[in-house]
Amino acid sequence: MLMFVISLAVLVCTSTARPSENYLENRFTAKEESQEVRSAAIKRLLEVFGMEDPPAIHGHKQPPQYMLDLYNTVADVDGVTKDPYLLEGNTVRSFFDKLRSEQVEFRFNLSTVARTEKVLTAELHLFKLRPQGSFNRHHFCQVSVYQMLDSSKSNSTQEKKLLSSRLIPVHSTGWEVFTVTQAVRSWMIDEGSNLGLHVVVQTLGGSQVDMKLIRFASGRSHHQSKQPMLVLFTDDGRHSASLESKDPNDTTAASTLLQAPMSGPSSRSARSLDYSEEEGVSMPCQRLPLYVDFEEIGWSGWIVSPRGYNAYHCKGSCPFPLGQNMRPTNHATVQSIINALKLIKSIETPCCVPDKLFSINLLYFDDDENVVLKQYNDMVAGSCGCH
């Protein structure tokens, strides 16, 4: 009898434990599936931004002021493009000198530039320091930038090739920019030919100038804000859809971007925008907030600006008859009429979708801690309509 009671107790314990085990197992499975969904979603989002993996997060330096100023020129506070014609191409990359020598020789590692990117313009940015000493005879000097060549790989005995040359005031100070597009394009074809750039300063008579008198900031002895920098304007070949607004004078939708709230409505108000419970009628097609927060996604460690952006989304019904405020296409108007007359049962009402899209700009650090400005098309719903 005692044995029967013990066996019964064990049976009861076993049977009562199973639901708990199943609950934990289901909960673990659900959590695992949730992580898989998140990983897949993040991977897909990276593809939208043209990346396979997020850049490595380092103890980042301060971005070059030139790149910050350029970002503020082409983008508003939320990263939305002010004018699609301001930027040449859709990518701007900055590189610091890797030699960091006291001499006027510079070399830049371009390994992060994809072979598919088309180099449109390349610029060498040098910060000219105040001259040491006096120049009674000369007010200008000739500054020339050369591409260093490997004479052993070519038929020519030349060791350098002139890229850019111009006059600079001797007593000036500040940034000087030289075009070096030809050299960078050759480096993209043959990475091994990248032997760097060489700067020569001469008087108007052709005499060599003492580099202690005419000096440019170097990567070794001067603050990062004055370091030599190579800036590339490229295009990665990604084209926008037909909805992208290319007219810089079209400010109708752009102005609404600035007026719209940056945070989404409460859950109740969001529902009421689509359907009014009191009136029992659906609300018309309209644009609603959809804020993408890069910190919540886990990207704040490598994105400089913006912290996030409002992508917006379209929601609402497209009832018959479609007014001009619904911004309907002719096709949508015909579809709405066919649906209203019930001529074909399978024809639904038109859908509320974006009818104008805008690009955004991202300023970020790549894997080599170079700062990149990239423009992404079709990222913001500028307005909504019935289509």
184 has pLDDT over 50: yes
Residues paired with residue 145 on neighbouring β-strands, in sequence order? 164, 199
Residue 230 CB contacts under 8 Å (≥ 6 apart), including other chains = 94, 95, 97, 106, 108, 122, 123, 124, 125, 180, 184
What lies within 8 Å, CB to CB, of 43 at 6+ separation is none
Count of CB atoms situated within 10 Å of the CB of 250: 12
Cβ atoms of 185 and 119 closer than 8 Å: yes
Single-letter amino acid code for the residue at 243: L
Average pLDDT over residues 83-91: 90
State residue 121's pLDDT score.
Answer: 96
Is-contact 285 385, C-beta < 8 A?
A: yes
- In this structure, of 103-107, 126-130, 195-199, 313-317, the range with the lowest mean pLDDT score is 103-107
pLDDT tens figures, 299-332: 988 999 999 999 999 999 998 888 888 888 899 8
Find the Cα–Cα–Cα–Cα dihedral 342, 346, 350, 353, rounded to 10°: 170
The conformational region for residue 206 under phi > 0 = left, psi -120 to 50 = alpha, else beta, is left
Tell me: pLDDT of 33 over 80. Answer: no
Work out the angle at residue 9's Cα, subtended by the Cα atoms of residues 3 and 11, and round it to the nearest 5 degrees: 105
| pLDDT value for 265 | 36
pTM here is: 0.78
Beta-carbon contacts of residue 208 (< 8 Å; ≥ 6 apart): 200, 201, 202
The pLDDT tens digits of the residues spanning 236-286 come to 888 655 455 555 445 444 444 433 333 333 333 333 334 444 444 578 899
Q: How confident is the model at residue 35 (pLDDT cuts 50, 70, 90)?
A: confident
Ranges 43-57, 215-229, 342-356, 364-378: which has the least confidence = 215-229
Query: pLDDT by residue (tens digit) across 127-161?
Result: 988 877 665 566 888 899 999 998 776 555 678 89
